[in-house]
Amino acid sequence: MRQIINNADLAAKEQIPLCQDCGAAVLFLELGQDAHIIGGDLNEAVNEGVRQAYEKGYLRKSMVTHPFSSRVNTKK
């Protein structure tokens, strides 16, 4: 119970959701018709942003390789 209260206090302080969904992140991007990606890859940039959000946002790193067999957590 103490951990739940600590998590609730942290969520309120950091203004983040209390519940840590154990699913995969789903993102929707909107780019204007004049947007140009220069000097990098949009997919890599999005993946890095998600990685940083999970690290800095107190989210549970729950992705696994081979979800129907070995289920090794990728820590990402």
Around 24, how many Cα atoms within 13 Å sit in the side-chain half-sphere?
A: 9
- Compute the chain's Rg from CA coordinates: 16
pLDDT at 32: 93
Cβ atoms < 10 Å from Cβ of 7: 14
pLDDT at 75 over 80: no
pLDDT at 5 over 70: yes
Residue 57: what residue type?
G
pLDDT in tens, 34-57: 998 899 899 999 989 888 887 777
**The whole model's pTM is what?**
0.56
Do residues 48 and 9 touch, judged by C-beta distance below 8 A? no
pLDDT at 34: 93
User: Looking at per-residue confidence, does 20 or 15 come out higher?
Assistant: 15
